[in-house]
Each structure stands twice: as C-alpha cells, then as structure tokens.
Amino acid sequence: MIDTLCKQAAGDGAAVACFYFDFAAQEEQSPAAVLGSVLKQVVGALGEIPERMVKAFRDREKVIGGQRLSLSEIVEFLQDISSSRCTFICIDALDECPAGHRMKLLDSLNQILQESQGARIFLTGRPHIRGEVEKHLAGRAATRSITPTKDDIIIFLRAKLREDTMPDAMDESLEEEIMKSIPETVSEM
Amino acid sequence: MSQPYISDNINSFNSINVWNNYTVADERSEILAWLSPLEPQIRHQDIRIRRVDEVGGWLLQTQEYRNWFDGMSGCEPDSSALFCYGGPGVGKTYLR
C-alpha cells in the first residue's frame, strides 16, 4: 500500500508515512512516539525542516535528556504541514495498539483530519475495533472489509510454489491439486 | 537475513554540545531522530520483501479506495480516512 501510494502520489509532491503496530512492542509504541515517527517521515520528505521545529529542537536540547515534543505539539505540526501538502498516513494493525493508547491516537488523527484538507488516513485492523474507529473519527472514516479473493490466493500460491525449496517432491498432478483445492476451500471460508 | 536499510537519522545525539562545529546536515538528522525513536521504515522494508506483487490489488479499484485517494470532499460520507478490516491472516498488512 505504501509503495503504491508513493508511486501514485510522488508526482504531486505528496508525503507518505507509515506505521506498523506490534503487540510485542506496546511499551514503546505510545501515541506520541507513533505520531512522532509519522511526523519524522513527513518532515524527512520536505526539502527543509520547518523553522518552528528547529527552534523547538534547540530550546528542548538544553533541557537534560533533550525533552521530546508532546502529543499535542506533534499533532499541530502534522496539521500545519498537511494543510499545505497532501499527506498520506498509513497505520497497520491498529488493534495491536493497547485500547487506552488507541483512543488517544484516534482522537489525534481526528484532530488532524478536522484541521487540514490535505490529510488522508489509511488504517487496518481486526473487525472488533471498527465501531471505535468510526466513532472516534466522527464519521470521517469509510470502511471496507478485506478478504482474499480467489485470484489473490492463486497468485500467492503460484509465487510460493516457485519458491519451493524441494521441487523434486512436486509433480504436475500435485501442483494441479494444490491450485484447485486451496483456492476453493479458502473462498468458501 | 538481509540487512534492513538504516536511515541516516539514527546514531545521533553524540555531538550535541559542539555548537561551533555544527553543520546543517548534522542538525537535520538530529532533529529527525529527536522527533521519535521509532523506525517504522525498517518494518516496512521487511514487509516489502515478503509481499507478493498483485495480491490485494483489487482494493485499488474499489469505490471506497478511489473516494479516499481522490479526496472527494462533499461526498457522503466524508472519506478522508479509510479503515480496512479483516480477521487475522487475511493479508491486511500486505495489501498492494
């Protein structure tokens, strides 16, 4: 998705940022760190860093430990940048973000969408968080169910069979059997 | 395992007090590192390597995706966000 967006949007000078949630990394994936990394990608795509951000950095640097931006400051920067420039933010596996963090993150995303025309947000997650996403994004979210199509399965199987490390164990009839039975079974699921 | 690409903004914060020798490039990468310690690009590269081309490409043709991408404001519902949901293992992460 990210690469597709980069290709489609590159000509228009749009910025594309991604984030992948992971159960195993819950501690470090706080809303500020997550949106901070989104901001990092968006700013990285700009020719130069906004002056206000340079100033914030120089001021904080004097504080021991180099205090980072707060969530609301990060949201403000993202609002600023995405109002003058199309900005795609893609976040994967939102359900792997702990519930408390998730509410904060969704509210922050909503604030960004509210303030800027150029922001586009793409989210993936399991079905149980759908209601929550719709509620927190205040009707701004369209939803779409994802299930692999039969063609997806066939393309995927072909690719995997080509990577087979024991090609001797495969013959034509087994391959035919695999290509026939797996897509059928999966599309019935 | 292949070496994930490392962006130029890690390993900073070392030369922080050397104001006089500061170059613009140094400060730029330090500011980027300061924005967040997380590096989602590394995971992105990993997914990119494992993804099978064309799988999930149908999503790009759906009305939901097009409305979202084109940003048709004024259409109902306003779709500046798109949430794609599905059970574990359906390929959400690997959508084309």
* Residue-level pLDDT at B19: 45
Contacts of A143 in chain B (CB under 8 A): 64, 82-85
Query: How many contacts, defined by CB atoms under 8 Å, are there between A and B?
Result: 191
Question: CB under 8 Å, gap of 24 or more: what pairs does B44-48 form?
Answer: B44/A2, B44/A18, B44/A20, B45/B4, B45/B5, B46/B4, B47/A20, B47/B93, B47/B94, B48/A2, B48/A3
3-state secondary structure of A12: coil
Among A29, A74, A126, select the one facing B88 at the smallest CB separation.
A126
Partner-chain contact B30 A57, CB within 8 Å:
yes
* Residue-level pLDDT at A126: 93
CA distance A176 to A173: 5
Contacts of A130 in chain B (CB under 8 A): 83, 85
Please give the structure tokens belonging to residue B10. 């890690």
> pLDDT tens, position by position, for chain B (96 residues)?
444 444 444 444 444 444 444 566 788 999 999 999 998 888 888 887 777 777 777 888 888 888 888 875 544 456 899 999 988 877 677 776
Contacts of A54 (CB under 8 A, 6+ apart): B27, B31
What residue segments make up the domains of chain A, in order of their start?
A: 2-136, 150-188
pTM of model > 0.90:
no
Query: Is A140 near chain B, with CB under 8 Å?
Result: yes
CA distance A178 to A172: 10
Partner-chain contact A142 B79, CB within 8 Å:
yes
Partner-chain contact A43 B39, CB within 8 Å:
no
Residue A138 distance to chain B (closest CA, Å): 10
> pLDDT tens, position by position, for chain A (189 residues)?
777 777 777 667 788 999 999 989 988 999 999 999 999 999 998 888 999 999 999 998 887 777 899 999 999 999 999 998 889 999 999 999 999 999 999 999 999 999 988 899 999 999 999 999 999 998 888 888 887 777 888 887 888 777 777 777 777 778 788 777 777 776 655
Interface with chain A: mutation pick from B5, B16, B35, B45, highest number of A CBs within 10 Å: B35
Dihedrals φ, ψ of A35, to 5°? Answer: -70, -30
Contacts of A67 (CB under 8 A, 6+ apart): A60
- How many other C-beta atoms can be found within 10 angstroms of the C-beta atom of residue A128? 10
Partner-chain contact A57 B34, CB within 8 Å:
yes
Q: At what angle do helices B24-35 and A51-61 cross, to 10 degrees?
A: 80
What residue segments make up the domains of chain B, in order of their start?
A: 1-50, 52-96
C-alpha closest to that of B89 among A147, A185, A59, A162: A147
Nearest residue on chain B to A157, alpha-carbon basis: B52
